[in-house]
Amino acid sequence: MANQSQVHPSDITELIRIACQHGFSEIAIQSPESQIQIRLAPTPQSSGVPPAAESPVANQPAADCVPLLSPMTGIYYAAPGPNAPPFVHPGDLVREGDPIGLIEAMKVFSEVLADHSGRVRRVVAENGQLVQQGDMLIELSALEAGEV
């Protein structure tokens, strides 16, 4: 049987973590069997200055960047209903297992649960947006000591 290489969502999560940790806006991996290219949108905090040129105090390591990824392809909904408040806002504390949105696929709504705990840095996906499996929905910052 031939060796078949498949991309696993955890591989994509790891690539995004590496990109965030090192301040990359884009990362690509190629092999004879597959190619993965990830482009990250700039965060509101970014100044457009490369990380090496920023002051050490302002340039906090992005090692605390934890992406929450879409588990499936479908339409992302940030709230449980049209007039309901969003599941999460920037600054909110999210614990592993907390609902962070809904994905509609084939007329079925599936609750998306956080697979990590952290503080919401930004909500990447827009309400009503088509997302693919592995797309970043929410970016978390690691929890500080005592925020458990």
| Domain boundaries 9-41+63-141, corresponding CATH code | 2.40.50.100
pLDDT at 50 over 70: no
Tokens linked to 89: 């806002």
What are the φ/ψ torsions at residue 75 (nearest 5 degrees)? Answer: -95, 125
Tokens linked to 5: 């290489």
End-to-end alpha carbon distance in the chain: 47
What residue ranges do the domains of the chain occupy?
Answer: 9-41+63-141
Q: How far is CA 79 from the centre of its chain?
A: 17
Strands (E), the chain: 26-30, 35-39, 66-69, 74-77, 93-94, 99-105, 108-113, 118-123, 130-131, 136-141
pLDDT given for residue 63 in this prediction: 55
Residue 75 and residue 103 in contact, taking contact as beta carbons nearer than 8 Å? yes
CB-side neighbour CA atoms (13 Å) of 29 = 12
Residue 45 and residue 17 in contact, taking contact as beta carbons nearer than 8 Å? no
**Count of residues in the chain:** 148
Weakest mean pLDDT among 3-17, 29-43, 50-64, 98-112: 50-64
Residue 93 and residue 66 in contact, taking contact as beta carbons nearer than 8 Å? no
Higher-scoring residue by pLDDT: 34, 146? 34
Q: What is the pLDDT of residues 51-64, one digit of tens each?
A: 443 333 322 334 55
| Alpha-carbon torsion (40, 20, 34, 106), positive or negative | negative
